């Protein structure tokens, strides 16, 4: 980093923030490791050319910007290629039961942020926070399980959006907080899943009492 800073001189405030912001965004967007490696190699290659005087810092920044645009396009093509294919048999049933909870959409959505502290320090406390939004309808819960889940999460469930929100910033590393969100979600689903058994037990108990009374 010191070598790159000395090479880019007065341009350091703009390109280095931009470059490392872009590199960090690769983790947020779950880019494949080969693309991350390609970006790092290209960045080092351009920095070395600038250091040797083959190109100016301005030209180096322009080259990396052009390369970055190509990476974004390449990733978009990969995502389009890897997108799941659906047939009519896999489409959701439009004849919805009115007792079903509302909502339909992606199962989970992640939200993170990248903040750079003054002075070029890449660490910032807000970078550790992770927010997980879950479309509850897509979890496939029964009516009783859905009711139990709402009891467990309280106001973390937004009925208008049919969205459950889980946040975590317990530890410094964002990936660990992402795992913490998933552990919380899995625990809630497991606990809500017991609702059917609870209803069956209550029903069985009531039926036994009726038989005894008869």
Q: Could you give the CA distance from residue 29 to residue 23 in angstroms, rounded to a whole number? A: 10
Residue carrying structure tokens 């978009």: 76
Which residue(s) pair with 133 in the sheet? 109, 165
Q: Which CATH class is domain 99-213?
A: alpha beta
User: Across-strand partners of 110?
Assistant: 132
Mean pLDDT in order along the chain per 10 residues (214 residues): 42 40 42 69 85 86 81 65 47 48 64 69 75 89 88 91 91 87 90 76 55 51
DSSP structure string for 97-128:
-TTSPP--S-SEEEE----PPTTS----GGGG
Domain range annotation of the chain: 2-82, 99-213
d(CA 72, CA 46): 18
Q: What is the CA radius of gyration of the chain?
A: 25
pLDDT, position 40: 80
Q: What is the pLDDT of residue 90?
A: 42
For residue 168, what are the β-bridge partners?
130
- Give the pLDDT score at 8: 42
Separation between Cα atoms, residue 57 and residue 9, nearest integer Å: 8
Residue 157 is predicted with a pLDDT of 93
Q: pLDDT at position 4, please?
A: 44
* pLDDT score, position 128: 84
Residues 22-57 as b or e (16 or more Cβ within 10 Å = b): bbeebeeeebeeeeeebbeebbeebbebbbeeeeeb
């Amino acid at each position: 980093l010191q070598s790159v800073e000395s090479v880019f001189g007065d341009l350091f405030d703009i390109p280095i923030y931009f470059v490392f912001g872009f590199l960090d965004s690769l983790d947020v967007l779950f880019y494949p490791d080969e693309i991350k490696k390609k970006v790092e190699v290209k960045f080092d290659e351009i920095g070395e050319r600038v250091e040797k005087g083959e190109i100016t810092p301005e030209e180096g920044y322009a080259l990396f910007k052009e390369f970055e645009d190509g990476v974004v396009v390449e990733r978009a093509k990969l995502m389009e290629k890897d997108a799941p294919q659906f047939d009519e048999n896999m489409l959701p049933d439009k004849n919805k039961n009115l007792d079903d909870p509302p909502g339909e959409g992606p199962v989970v959505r992640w939200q993170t942020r990248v903040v750079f502290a003054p002075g070029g320090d890449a660490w910032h406390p807000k970078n550790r926070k992770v927010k997980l939004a879950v479309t509850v309808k897509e979890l496939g819960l029964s009516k009783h399980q859905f009711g139990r889940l709402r009891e467990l999460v309280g106001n973390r469930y937004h009925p208008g959006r049919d969205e459950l929100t889980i946040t975590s910033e317990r530890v410094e590393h964002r990936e660990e907080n992402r795992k913490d969100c998933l552990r919380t979600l899995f625990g809630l689903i497991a606990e809500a899943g017991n609702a059917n058994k609870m209803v069956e037990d209550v029903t069985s108990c009531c039926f036994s009492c009726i038989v005894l009374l008869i």
